[in-house]
Amino acid sequence: MDTFQRIKKIVLEKIDVQEDRLTPDATLEGLGLDSLDRVELMFSLEEEFKIKIPDREVTIVTIHDVVNVIDKLAEEQHGEV
């Protein structure tokens, strides 16, 4: 499964949403996630991908942004995706 599929799977476990709404340009806000939901989602993604998402402001608006951030951090933190 690629990064995008793995992210979709986690999001589908957490919110009731049709899978076809989880497109790369879907925004987290548009999917109904508030700031607390985002924090919790980031934690789950950290666990899944074995990475640490830094506390500093990371710009994540869309699912595409999530994929990019994870791929980048996975490469930095353990040289693989």
Partner 1 sequence: MKRVAITGMGVISPVGNRTTVFFSNLMTGKSGVRRMTSDFSSQLSVKIAAEADFYPADYFSKKQIGALDRVTLMALAAASQAWEDSGITLAEEEKNRAGVYLGTGMGGSPSLDELFVQLYKKAASRVNPLFVPKIMSNAPASHVSIRYGLSGPCLTFSTACSSSAVAIGESFRQIKSGYCDVMLAGGTECLLTYGSFKSWESLGVLATEDPEDPSASCKPFAKDRSGFVLGEGAALLVLEEMEHAQKRGAKMLGEIIGYGSAADASHIVRPSAAGQARAIRLALDEAQIGPDAIDYINAHGTATAANDLAETQALKEVFGKRAYAIPVSSTKSMHGHLLGAAGAVEFVAAVLAMTNGAVPPTAHLRVPDPDCDLDYVPNRGRTGVDIKTIMSNSFAFGGTNAVLIARAL
Closest of 59, 42, 40, 38 to residue 51, by C-alpha: 42
Based on the shown chain and the rule CB under 8 A, indicate whether residue 81 belongs to the binding site for partner 1. no
Distance CA 43, CA 39 (A): 6
Q: Which residue is catalytic, options 2, 34, 55, 65?
A: 34
Cβ atoms of residues 44 and 14 within 8 Å: yes
Nearest distance from C-beta of residue 18 to partner 1, angstroms: 13
Which range binds partner 1 by CB under 8 A, 22-30, 33-41, 59-67, 68-76? 33-41
Whether 34 is catalytic is yes
Active-site residues, by number, are: 34
